[in-house]
């Protein structure tokens, strides 16, 4: 069954215990005082893509502070919060010993546990846990209870970045064969519908659907403060965009073209319009979030010297590791070319390179292309985030990108 057919079935069926009869669940944006609604007052959302995995986002051996360990990432989050960043999240991955190799040696924290640990030591910033919802022992009832608890601890600042797993190796680690791409989104839709019923229903809820999950008289407290936690998903496929249009508050997109800025800025307007129209056709608004790798110093000469040093130390072993693990992700198709080693040394979804003034000019272009938020990556996170706060953020405010 196609995802759009599944959604229609959910909306029209009225069987006892089914997921449907629900045209729309309450969302954080329905509440003017929710942390998400407050963040969306900003002209451009500002996020940090945490490096909770060895190597961060850059296949380069140039010395840097970037570290996957908790204390380092906790310090980044607290610094980002002090700079009034709106949100943080990180990737989730299940890889065999050695990871992709090279700087990406497999050392990594779990995104769910890491962001959960940060809920009680932060005050304002949104904390989004990236969670594979389809394989492993995680049951919707578990996640509904965990999520309700974290919503309570954080005051509505916690959310889920829903991922379904695109690498065969990840499914195989849990004893599964990889689920077909579009069918993963059908199952994820059922999972999220169950979560929303558990977060919203004031009576016990029973369910048996197409997946292996069953519930008998399930109930969850405390109820989330603002309807439900924040929902995010990352996608570039038709099925993923349909999923985002119905469920997500924010969709994390990639540039449909190469990672260089000129290619991205040419193709993004049509892509972001497509995503937003898919949501509007269902009576919803969705925001787009993009991941730029920011390389900046005070002068052009210093900036490009930094860039060239990163590239000069490109780790040749890590890119080979990516090729070992088969992926059916649509968002990253067509992004491997003759300059792939250079691009992977830099990392990120697109490259934003220049002086602080040039960086902000590029951010303005991204906003004009339909990007609602920037989930920033850096090569040397501690040092580069400090430079960003001192030299780039004030110019973003002057340009009207931040209040």
State the DSSP string of 13-24.
---TT-S-S-S-
Quote the pLDDT of residue 338: 55
Helix axes 261-280, 238-247, angle to 10 degrees: 50
pLDDT at 328 over 80: no
pLDDT at 165 over 80: no
Q: Return left, alpha or beta for 283; rule: phi > 0 is left, psi -120 to 50 is alpha, else beta.
A: left
pLDDT at 22 over 80: no
DSSP state of 30: G
Structural domain that includes position 274: 25-398
Question: What is d(CA 36, CA 155) in angstroms, rounded to the nearest whole number?
Answer: 11
Residue 381 domain-assigned? Answer: yes
What does the pLDDT look like over 255-266, one tens digit per residue?
887 788 999 999
pLDDT at 5 over 60: no
Question: What is d(CA 211, CA 198) in angstroms, rounded to the nearest whole number?
Answer: 17
DSSP state of 1: -
Q: Which residue is it, tokens 């995680």? A: 138
Does residue 195 contact residue 228 with C-beta atoms inside 8 Å? yes
Question: What is d(CA 74, CA 234) in angstroms, rounded to the nearest whole number?
Answer: 24
Gyration radius of the chain over CA positions? 21
**The token pair that represents 27 in the structure block:** 């969302």
Query: At 11, which helix (H) or strand (E)?
Result: helix 3-12
Quote the pLDDT of residue 3: 45
CB-based burial label for 210 (10 Å; 0-12, 13-18, 19+): exposed
Quote the pLDDT of residue 23: 46
Pairing outcome for strands 214-218 and 373-376: unpaired
Quote the pLDDT of residue 332: 54
**325 against 130, higher pLDDT:** 130
The whole-angstrom distance between residue 251's C-alpha and the CA centroid of its chain comes to: 7
Quote the pLDDT of residue 11: 37
**2 against 90, higher pLDDT:** 90
The pTM (predicted TM-score) of the whole model is: 0.92
pLDDT at 211 over 90: no
Quote the pLDDT of residue 154: 98
Pairing outcome for strands 87-89 and 126-132: parallel
CA distances for 372 relative to 36, 43, 78, 248, 305, angstroms: 13, 8, 23, 14, 30
- Report the CATH number at residue 375: 3.20.20.30
pLDDT band at residue 123 under the 50/70/90 scheme: very high
Question: What is d(CA 61, CA 228) in angstroms, rounded to the nearest whole number?
Answer: 42
Residue 4 domain-assigned? Answer: no
Helix, strand, coil content of the chain in percent (nearest 5)? 40, 15, 40
What does the pLDDT look like over 242-296, one tens digit per residue?
999 999 999 999 988 778 899 999 999 999 999 999 999 999 999 999 999 999 9
Neighbours of 123 (CB within 10 A): 9
**The token pair that represents 38 in the structure block:** 């407050």
Residue 164 domain-assigned? Answer: yes
pLDDT at 169 over 90: no
Residue 2 domain-assigned? Answer: no
Average pLDDT over residues 316-326: 68
Residue 351 domain-assigned? Answer: yes
Listing DSSP states for 295-306 in one string gives E--SSHHHHHHH
Quote the pLDDT of residue 164: 87
pLDDT band at residue 101 under the 50/70/90 scheme: very high
pLDDT at 146 over 60: yes
- Cis peptide, bond prior to residue 222, ω within 30 of zero: yes
Average pLDDT over residues 102-109: 95
pLDDT at 16 over 60: no
Question: What is d(CA 371, CA 352) in angstroms, rounded to the nearest whole number?
Answer: 14
What's the total number of domains in the chain?
Answer: 1
pLDDT at 60 over 90: yes
């Amino acid at each position: 069954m196609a995802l759009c057919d599944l959604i229609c079935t959910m909306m029209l069926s009225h069987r006892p215990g089914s997921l449907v009869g629900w045209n729309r669940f309450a969302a954080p944006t329905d509440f003017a005082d929710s942390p998400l609604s407050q963040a969306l007052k900003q002209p451009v959302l500002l996020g940090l893509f945490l490096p909770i995995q060895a190597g961060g986002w850059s296949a380069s051996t140039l010395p840097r502070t970037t570290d996957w360990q908790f204390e380092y990432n906790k310090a980044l989050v607290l610094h980002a919060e002090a700079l009034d960043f709106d949100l943080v999240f990180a990737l989730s991955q299940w890889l065999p010993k050695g990871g992709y190799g090279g700087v990406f040696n497999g050392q990594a924290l779990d995104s769910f546990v890491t962001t959960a640990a940060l809920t009680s030591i932060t005050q304002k910033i949104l904390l989004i846990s990236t969670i594979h919802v389809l394989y492993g022992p995680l049951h919707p009832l578990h996640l509904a209870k965990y999520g309700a608890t974290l919503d309570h601890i954080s005051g509505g600042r916690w959310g889920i970045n829903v991922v379904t797993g695109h690498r065969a190796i990840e499914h195989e680690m849990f004893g599964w064969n990889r689920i077909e791409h579009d069918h993963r989104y059908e199952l994820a839709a059922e999972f999220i519908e169950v979560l929303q019923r558990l977060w919203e229903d004031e009576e016990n809820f029973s369910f048996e659907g197409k997946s292996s999950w069953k519930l008998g008289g399930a109930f969850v407290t405390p109820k989330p403060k603002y309807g439900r936690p924040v929902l995010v998903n990352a996608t570039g496929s038709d099925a993923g965009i349909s999923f985002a249009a119905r469920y997500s508050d924010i969709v994390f997109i990639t540039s449909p073209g190469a990672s260089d800025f000129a290619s991205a800025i040419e193709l993004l307007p049509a892509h972001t319009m497509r995503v937003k129209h898919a949501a509007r056709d269902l009576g919803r608004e969705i925001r787009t979030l993009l991941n730029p790798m920011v390389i900046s110093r005070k002068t052009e000469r210093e900036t490009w010297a930094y860039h060239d040093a990163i590239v000069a130390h490109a780790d040749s072993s890590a890119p080979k590791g990516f090729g070992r693990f088969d992926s059916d992700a649509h968002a990253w198709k067509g992004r491997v070319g003759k300059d792939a080693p250079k691009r992977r040394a830099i990392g990120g979804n697109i490259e934003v390179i220049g002086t602080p003034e040039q960086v902000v000019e590029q951010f303005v272009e991204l906003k004009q292309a339909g990007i609602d938020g920037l989930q920033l990556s850096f090569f040397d996170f501690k040092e580069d985030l400090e430079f960003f706060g001192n030299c780039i953020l004030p110019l973003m405010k002057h340009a009207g990108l931040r209040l």
